[in-house]
Chain A
Amino acid sequence: MNIGHQDFYTQAILSMAALVGLTSFLMLGQGRLLRLIFVFALQGVLLTVTTALTAYSLDNHHLYISAVLTLVLKVMFIPWMLRRQVLLMNIHRDIEALKNNTIIMLGGASLMVFSYYVLHPIVQTSSTIMLNALAVSLSVVLLGMLLMISHRQAVAHVVGFMSIENGLFFAAIVATNGMPMVVELGIAFDVLVAAVLFGIFFFHIRTSIDSLDVDRLNRLHEVDK
């Protein structure tokens, strides 16, 4: 694969994939909540650009709608809501000391390699470019999970959750030029409802344990302490 020989659109998609992957790694190592939310919004911007680019190059109008939905939901609404919660809880100055930061970053890198390994059979039917794009989306999904495992703050969990959604969205755009419109609207609706529910949950968790530290949600377990 010689990148210079590809058309403009393919090159752009490849660099977008790289940037989206990069933002996931940036989130993984981020201990400050406000910066985490900022990087998440940045990932949303990259997705919007990718979607708009695909819409432009394929002349596909419904993808413009998806782009606008992404912009509104993932660049504006969700980051705004999370930021508000963080400021309300007055935890924006806390720096979460991430345990084993090095190991987590190495784990993230190996997840990326793992994604390439899992999706390798795809090369048989399509280009290596598709493999790159899909593998990056899968690794964004897996890195989102790792983010949720390694952070303790509920806000970080929501960011992880939503970045998993971002990875899926990227896969849908790049691999299949977007899902059918009904499905995309459905997914956007689910994301919106999920975001609102998270807001409600923050309120409940705060009133019940007076913190958003999910390590303190530990009342239910199989074995008696």
Chain B
Amino acid sequence: MIAVYFVLLIPFGGIVFFAFAGHKADTGKLNVRFNAICLLATIWLAINVLDQNTILSSGKAFLIDPFNVYLIVLTAFVGLTTSIFSAPYMAHEKDLGKLTDNRLKLYYSMYQGFMLAMYLVLTTNNMGVMWVAMEGATLATVLLVSLYRTPESIEAAWKYFILCGVGIAQALFGTILLYYAAVQVGGIENSLLWSVLYENANKLNPEILEIAFVFMLIGYGTKIGLVPLHNWLPDAHSEGPTPMSAVLSGLLLNDALYAVVRNKMLVDGASHSETAGHLMMGFGLLSFLVAVFFLHRQKDIKRLFSYSSIEHMGMMTFAFGIGSSLSTFAALLHMTVHSLTKSAIFVTVGHASQVAGTQSMSKIRGLIKTQPRIGWGLLIGTIAIAGFPPFGVFTSEFLVLLATMHSYPWLTPLLLLGIGIAFAGLFRHLQPMVYGDKPEGQLPIEANLWPVMIHLALVLWLGLAIPGFLANWFSQATILISGSAPL
């Protein structure tokens, strides 16, 4: 259990440390070290959970179960690999004169701040603290979106701040209603703790909980990037520094979805109707379908992949909404593979746009000729995210389709159509960027593609065979969420 405190204290130390020493030359490497130690702490925590299944800290402040433990490890892992990428990237941006010492301090300090908020969302047992941490994640990243201080980035950050702030306020209203429902019952101690609420879910008033869930879904849904609350997402992803896009896409969206699913579990326990699931299915499918069409219209490479994130988050929300054991298993797997693949893609995209000196897709050409590793990285990453076998995204999307056919067969054509359109949208942009003629004078840059390769190798591995302990976690989490074992 001590591991939890380490997981939270290390990034906290990071915030303070980098706030004073964030501008030194080797800060990037120190940031990697902080994240590496944190990854070790999360692995320690994971080993504990393997032994004991569910851990509730003394005082019940933290709850670690199979559902959040793999997300915690994933968060630490993506945080580490992104920091490996960010060290030379930010140094390069500083050489280009885009950043000053103070902004580097801010960047590294808030990188750790964001990680802290993410760990807190995942580990806390208190629904109120979860909200506070989620808002904290916005506050930590909002100044990073405007890090370059261009008019566009300031506009993107303002939009991000206002939309997410107002959106997440709805989730707080939902949390208050949830607390109100629990206080109503009476005789429940600490009635904002998830574990307590979950035990007493059948006593809570289902109607109040359903109203609360609507607010939660809108609130946290803004952060997931569900249509029609998604407008901030492409702007924030495209205007901020690329390592930020990688962690926003890979971690923040996942954690917001995690919060929604935690709440859904409470509502399901109370109401036994499928209102919550249907709401999630509706919003998820809408996001999925709207995003795949928007893929075709993009001109900026980071906007392209942020719409792809909306598409995938929509699919996961949809799958959790179906609520059968198979679809829940698929959604859990999809969370993992999407976050690994998408952060790998953003890392490659960051390098690609540094090679070309622009993010505009019409000007990025001939990557494979200039620097084969970046070209191949982008190509393989896109193949993986589009859902080609043998990558993990294929497996999870296939399972989602199977589950849909099983429960709602008439929705399958829509999903298939969407996947097809997304594929076309991604590849029509990708083809010329990777294979096109190399513009004159385009030179390779110093790039560290190890994070990308490791991520893609993991996604490949998950596509071919899911390791036993992970499958075990997924199954246990599935039982926890949907009530029955998958497959």
- Interface, chain A (partner B; CB < 8 A): 118-119, 121-122, 124-126, 134, 137-138, 141, 144-145, 148, 154, 157, 161, 164-165, 167-168, 171-172, 175-177, 179-180, 182-183, 186-187, 189-190, 193-194, 197-198, 200-201, 204-205, 208-209, 214, 217-220, 222-223
Contacts and interface: CB of A to CB of B under 8 A. Distances in A.
Contacts of B151: 208-209, 219
A219 B152 contact: yes
B403 interface: no
A216 to B, nearest CB: 9
Contacts of B136: 190, 193
A25 B423 CA distance: 49
A186 B129 contact: yes
B230 to A, nearest CB: 11
B289 interface: no
Interface string B443-481: 000000000000000000000000000000000000000
B49 interface: no
Contacts of B154: 201, 204-205, 208, 217
Contacts of A186: 128-129, 132-133
A220 B192 contact: no
B207 A179 contact: no
> Which applies to chain A's interface (DSSP): helix, strand, loop or mixed?
helix
Interface string B382-423: 000000000000000000000000000000000000000000
Contacts, number: 126
What bracket does the count of chain B residues touching chain A fall in? 35 or more
A194 B179 contact: no
A183 B166 contact: no
Contact of A164 (B131, B133, B166, B184): B166
Contact of B162 (A137, A161, A171, A183): A161
A125 B183 CA distance: 11
B211 A118 contact: yes
Contact of B129 (A119, A182, A208): A182
Contacts of B205: 124-125
A176 B173 contact: no
A187 B235 contact: no
A73 to B, nearest CB: 15
B297 interface: yes
B166 to A, nearest CB: 6
B286 interface: no
